[in-house]
Structure 1
Amino acid sequence: MVRFLVHTLIFLGSAALGLWITSLILSDNMSLPLMALLVATVVYAVAQWILSPLIFKMATKYANAILGGVGLVSTFVALLIATLVVDDFTIDGIGTWIAATVLVWLITALATWILPMFLLKEAAEKKKG
C-alpha cells in the first residue's frame, strides 16, 4: 500500500512539474494559474493513467509504426482533456500545442525517473536509521 502511494505521489509530482515548467516556458501562449494547475495535474494524471495503456494497445493492434510515439500521443490527448475540463487552462496555437506536448512529455518522463531517487532514497535512509 505504501509503495502504491509513493508511486502515485511520484506520478502526480511529475505531472505537476511537467505542466508547471511547460507553462513557464510557453507563458506567452499557455495559461495555467495555480488553482488550475492543481486541478489540471489531477485531470492530466488520471487521463494519462487511463490513456497510455489504451493507446499502446490500439497502436500495437492497428499501427505498430507509432508505438514509439505512444507517450506523446497520450500526453497530447491528456493535455486536450485537461484544457477542456479546467476552465483557466488554455493553450493557444498549433506550435504551442506541439511544444507543450513535447515539453510535458519530456519533463514528466525525466521527473518520473529522477523523483524516486530523492523520495525513495530518503525513505530508505529513514528505514536504516
Structure 2
Amino acid sequence: MITFLIRALIFVLSAAVGLIVADLLLPGFRIDWSNWWGFVLAVVIFAVLQSVLTPWAAKVARRNAPALLGGVGIVSTFIALLVVVLIPGAGITIGSPWWTWLLAPMIVWLITALATMLLPALFIKKKVGDKRAS
C-alpha cells in the first residue's frame, strides 16, 4: 500500500512538473497562479485521466491499429489536457497561437515521463543518505 501511495505521489508530482514546464515554455499555455487550488485540481484531474486513458488507449490501439502504439502517451496527454482546460476553475488555459495545442501535449508528456523516471531516484538517494547518516 505504501509503495502504491509513493508511486501515485510521484506521478502527481511529475504531472505538476510537466504542466509547469509547459507554462514556462509555451506562450499560449497559462496556469492561473492566483488560484492555486485550481492548479492543484488541474494536476489531480490530469494525473487521474492520464492513468486511466493511457492503458485504455493502448488496448484500443493494440486491437485496432498496432502501428499507433507509440503515440498512445501523447494522445492520452492531449485528451487529459483538453478535459482539464474545459473544466471551469481548473486553473489552466490553452489559447493562441494554435500550435500551442500541438506542442503542449508533447512537452507535458516528455517532461512527465522524464520526471517519473528521475523523481524516484531522488527519493531513493535522499533515503540512502539519511540511512548512512544515522
What TM-score do you get using the length of structure 1 for normalisation? 0.91
Please give the secondary structure, in 1, of the residue aligned with 2:99: helix
Q: How far apart are residue 117 of structure 1 and its match?
A: 0.4
Q: Counterparts of 1:60 and 1:78 in 2: how far apart (Å)?
A: 20
- The runs of at least 4 consecutive aligned structure 1 residues that moved more than 3 Å come to 124-129
Structure 2 residue runs without a partner (length 5+): none
Number of residue-to-residue matches in the alignment: 128
CA offsets per residue over residues 102-124 of structure 1, 9 Å max, x none? 10000001100100001122234
Q: Counterparts of 1:102 and 1:86 in 2: how far apart (Å)?
A: 23
Q: CA RMSD in A?
A: 1.4
Matching residue of 1:123: 127
Percent of aligned pairs with the same residue? 43
Matching residue of 2:107: 103
Matching residue of 2:3: 3
Which structure shows the bigger proportion of residues in helix conformation?
1
Q: Does 1:16 align with 2:21?
A: no
Please give the secondary structure, in 2, of the residue aligned with 1:31: strand
Matching residue of 2:32: 33
Q: Counterparts of 2:28 and 2:66 in 1: how far apart (Å)?
A: 33
Letter of the structure 2 residue corresponding to residue 90 of structure 1: T
Please give the secondary structure, in 2, of the residue aligned with 1:90: strand
What TM-score do you get using the length of structure 2 for normalisation? 0.88
Q: Counterparts of 1:84 and 1:70 in 2: how far apart (Å)?
A: 21
Aligned mate of 1:91, from 57, 79, 94 = 94
Please give the secondary structure, in 1, of the residue aligned with 2:53: helix
Structure 1 residue runs without a partner (length 5+): none
CA offsets per residue over residues 34-67 of structure 1, 9 Å max, x none? 3232111001000001100000000001111100
Please give the secondary structure, in 1, of the residue aligned with 2:42: helix
